[in-house]
Structure 1
Amino acid sequence: MKTVLITGAASGLGWEIAKVFHQRGDHLLLIDRDADGLTARATELKERVSTLACDLTDANAIEQISQQVDALGSLDVLVNNAGITQRSLAAKTNPAVMKKVMAVDWQAPMELALALLPALYKTRGAIINIGSMAGWMPVPGRAGYCAAKSALAQFFEVLRMEEADNGIHVLMVYPSFLDTPIEKNALGGDGQPAKHARSTVGRIDDAGELARNIVKALDQRKPRLFPNRFTLFASILWRIAPGFFQRMTRKRFAVELEQR
């Protein structure tokens, strides 16, 4: 039995990942800011589950989580899943919103991983990060989110190389559009809920299917998982024909550019 820590575990992809690991017989440490949601999930799972309600951006959150891991005695897998997004033009976005997105999507996963590396060294464990294809290519109306997910990707791609000799496995997951609450809770430029619906390209993937594929990729010790091949192609197009990519993307995401 392994011990698996999952952030943002009360709903969406985090909860789907939790169910897959629990079905395998692992012990879960579920982290989320939604205390009531965590209680409901723990009740549903019934056994082999611990919870901690906290906001990952709080000053003492990382220390609280580290103490919980120490109390459990070991850690095999850290899943950095918690995230937030925004839908607003950069020029119309309060810098505080950008700062919040960066704090949740990059700083918190980075700090948590570094704090828990000593525990992961003991088990030669793994870190799973839920990135985004938005970190690989520009998306109108998502400047803060693109920047944060790009920082997340770069940091953990480097960390994989640096920690390989210590037995630490890093799996970067790069989904595109998922059917999860993250988009429903997207921030607008003023920090309030975004007022317009999101634009999408390609299919909207199922969170349950992605969760199963993530755990399978972990078992196979893959370094990266690109669930949506269409979006992967788009990211390659961005690199080889950036002008064409931007013209096509402006058309597809025209609604974003109208939010002036």
Structure 2
Amino acid sequence: MKVVLITGAASGLGWELARACHARGHALLLTDIDAVGLAERIEQLGGEQVLGIAGDITDPETHGQLLQACTEKFTRLDLLINNAGITHRSPTVKTQTAVFHKVMAVDYHAPLELTLSALPLLRESAGQVAAIGSMAGWMPVLGRAGYCAAKSALSQSFEVLRAEIAQQGIGLLMVYPSFLDTPIDRNALGADGKRAGHARSTIGQIRGADWMAEQILVALEQRRERLFPDRGSWLASLLWRIAPAYYYKKMSQRFAGEME
């Protein structure tokens, strides 16, 4: 039995990861800023080996509570899944700076800081870290400047971190999904920090969160370093590198609604 800590676990990909881990017999420590939703999920799963702690993942006090619970309730931590995330849909020039700060805090600073705090426990178990990046960290997506920046920062920092913690026996999986059917896009911020009022634009196939969760857990079981589950998005990132002008042309056509 592994002890798994999952952030953003009350809905979307985090919830599907929790369900899949629970089905595998793992002990779970789940966290989310949505206290009511998290409590409902804990009740759904049930059992002595499931614990929920609601809190803001950008708050260091929440990190301390989570790691203390790992030590006191489970005595160990085998897998940390940094799943919690937020995005926005708004032109850069119209977006309030507070939106950029919030996206960067949730998508970059929080997972990096939580991971660094969890390293002593992960070192003891020769455990693993997973971080949910995005193909938006590899290629520009119009109307997502803050999100692209945060996921790029996450990707670069964790790719560096992998080599450093490998010497301590800790594995690190970076996941690079494209567009998923999850609440992160339905709850995207607009330029003013409120929920975006227009529908999102997409590239390629929209995948289900349950499909993505299974792909991630299999990759972790294989102790892989990277997961590119969507070939279409991977090819789009390659197009950005070899023909950026053509990429921008197609992106501008597909994402015209994001620039209003």
TM-score interval (norm. to shorter)? over 0.9
Residue segments in structure 2 that go unaligned for 5+ positions in a row: none
SS at match of 1:29: strand
Residue 35 of structure 1 corresponds to 35
In the alignment, which of 209, 213, 235 is matched to residue 237 of structure 2? 235
Structure 1: distance between partners of 2:34 and 2:257: 32
Q: For residues 63 and 165 of structure 2, what CA distance do their matches in structure 1 show?
A: 21
State how far apart, in whole Å, the 2-side matches of 1:58 and 1:96 are. Answer: 17
Q: 5+ residue gaps in structure 1?
A: none
TM-score by length of 1: 0.98
State which of 121, 132, 143 in structure 2 corresponds to 1:141.
143
TM-score, normalising length from structure 2?
0.98
Q: Give the CA deviation at 1:166.
A: 0.9
Question: 2:65 matched to which residue of 1?
Answer: 64
Q: How many residues align?
A: 258
Q: What is the CA distance between 1:59 and its match in structure 2?
A: 4.3
Three-state SS of the structure 1 residue aligned to 2:52 is strand
Q: Tell me what 1:250 maps to.
A: 252
Note the C-alpha offset of 1:25. Answer: 0.6
In structure 1, how many angstroms separate the alpha carbons of the residues matched to 2:30 and 2:101? 25
Over residues 33-58 of structure 1, what are the superposed CA-to-partner deviations in whole Å (9 max), with x where a residue is unaligned?
11111111111111120110001122
Structure 1 equivalent of residue 190 of structure 2: 188
| Aligned residue identity for 1:228 | D
Say yes or no: does 1:108 pair with 2:110: yes
Give identity over the alignment, percent. 57
SS in 1 for 2:207: coil
Q: Distance in 1 between matches of 2:123 and 2:33?
A: 27
Aligned to 2:56: 55
4+ residue segments displaced more than 6 Å: none
Counterpart in 1 of 2:14? 14
Distance (Å, rounded) in 2 between the aligned partners of 1:40 and 1:209: 22
- Taking the aligned partners of 1:59 and 1:78, their CA distance within structure 2 comes to 16
Bigger drift between 96-105 and 40-49 goes to 40-49
Residue 129 in 1 paired to residue 131 in 2?
yes
Tell me the secondary structure at the aligned position of residue 52 of structure 1.
Answer: strand
- The residue identity in structure 2 corresponding to 1:211 is A
Shift of 1:29: 0.1
Q: Which residue of 1 aligns with 2:220?
A: 218
Give SS of 2:167's match. helix
What is the deviation of 1:221?
Answer: 1.1
Partners of 2:122 and 2:64 in 1: CA distance: 16
SS of structure 2 residue aligned to 1:30: strand
User: 1:190-237, CA deviations, whole angstroms, 9 ceiling, x for partnerless residues?
Assistant: 000001100011110010011011000111111111111000000011
